[in-house]
Amino acid sequence: MLEAEAGDIAYGRTPVVEAASLSIAQGEICALCGPNGAGKTSLFAALAGELRPRRGVVRIGGEDIRKLSAVALAERRAVLEQSPTLSAEFSVRELIGLAIPLQIPPEEAEEIVETTIAEVDLAEYAARSVLRLSGGQRHRAHLGRALAQLAAGRALGHTTSLLLDEPTANLDIAHQIAVMHLANRAAARGAAVAVVLHDLNLAAAFADRIALMAKGRIIAAGAPSEVFTARRLSETYGTDLSVQIGSDDRPRITPRYDVTPAQTSKEIPHVHRHEPLSRPS
C-alpha cells in the first residue's frame, strides 16, 4: 500500500498541494491526472519520498516514509523520472542493472537484468550504448532500470511500489501502449503503481483508479468511469470534453478542437456558456 494522508506540500511558503489523501493498494494502478500546475508532480515527489509534506504523512507498506533511509526506500519503491537522462556511455545492460541494490547476489542481479531486458524488448540492443538508441528505446531502457530495481525489491521480500512520472510523454502511440502494458504487468506482480498521465484516454484504459487533481487538491478519486465525467473534466481542464463509456466500462474522452480553451480556470464558465457539455452515456 502506497498512501498519502492529508498531505500538504509547499515550496518555501508557497503551498502547492493541500490535504491530499490517496491510497494505492498492491496490484492497483492509480493514475494522477489533472491540468498543468494541478500539483500532480509535487504529490508524486512526495509519494516518491523526495519531497517532505509540510503536514500529513506518506506511508509505503505501512511505514512512514520519513523513517526510511534512501537505501530502504529504494528497496520498496522504484521511480521512473519524467525526462530520464544519462551522461555516460553505459550499455542497455549496464543501465538496467544500475539501480539493483547491492544486497542482491551478482548471479541473481544478472538474471533480473536479462529478464528485464527481454521484458522491455531490448534484447537485440543489450550491448549497445544507450546514448546511441532512439528516443523510444532509450525511454524503455530507463523504464527497465526502474523495473529491475522493482524486481530486486521483490526478491528482497518487500511489497513494492512503482512510480512513473509521465512515462508516455514524447513516445509514439505504440510505445505509449507498450509502456502502460509494462505498468500493468508490474501491478499484476503485486506492485502498487502510481502514474502521472496527461493522456486521459490512456489513464482511462489502464488505471484501476484515477485521482483527478486541480489547484493543488484531489478533487475526485475512484474508478475511471466515476471520475471522468464530461462536466468534471471540462470544468477541470477549461475546455469542452465529451465522454463515452465503452463496452469495457471504460470512458473514452474526446476533446472539441473547434473551441479555443479558456486560458485560466476563471474563464471556464465562459466556455460553458458557449458550448453545452455532453454527458456520459
Partner 1 sequence: MRPGHLLLLGAAALLVVLGLALGPVTIAPGEIAAVAAGSGDPVHAASIGQIRAPRILLGVAVGTALALAGAALQGLLRNPLADPGLIGVTGGASIGAVSVIVLGEVLFGGGTPGGGTGGDAGGDDVGGGGGAGVAVNAIAGAFIGVMVYISDDTQLRDLTFWSLGALGAANWTLVLVASGISLASALALLSMHRALDLFQVGERAAFHAGIDTERVKLKTGLLTALAVGGATAAAGPIGFIGLVAPHIARLLLGAHHRIMMPAAALTGIALVLSADLAVRLAVPPAEPPIGIATSLLGGPVFLWLLLTRVRRHA
Q: Which chain residues interact with partner 1 by CB under 8 A?
A: 48, 50, 69-71, 73-75, 78-79, 81, 84-90, 94-95, 98-99, 101-102, 142, 145-146, 149
Identify which of residues 95 and 187 has a Cβ nearer to partner 1 in the complex: 95
Identify which of residues 74 and 210 has a Cβ nearer to partner 1 in the complex: 74
CB of 233 to partner 1, least distance (A): 30
Identify which of residues 47 and 212 has a Cβ nearer to partner 1 in the complex: 47
CB of 131 to partner 1, least distance (A): 10
Amino acid at 249: D
- Of the candidates 23, 46, 76, the residue with the CA atom closest to the CA atom of residue 165: 46
CB of 161 to partner 1, least distance (A): 12
CB of 179 to partner 1, least distance (A): 17
Identify which of residues 43 and 78 has a Cβ nearer to partner 1 in the complex: 78
Q: Would you state the cell numbers that stand for residue 94, as one nine-digit string?
A: 549496464
Identify which of residues 70 and 174 has a Cβ nearer to partner 1 in the complex: 70
CB of 272 to partner 1, least distance (A): 39
Exposed, middle or buried, 83 (CB in 10 Å: 0-12/13-18/19+)?
exposed
Identify which of residues 142 and 175 has a Cβ nearer to partner 1 in the complex: 142
CB of 203 to partner 1, least distance (A): 22
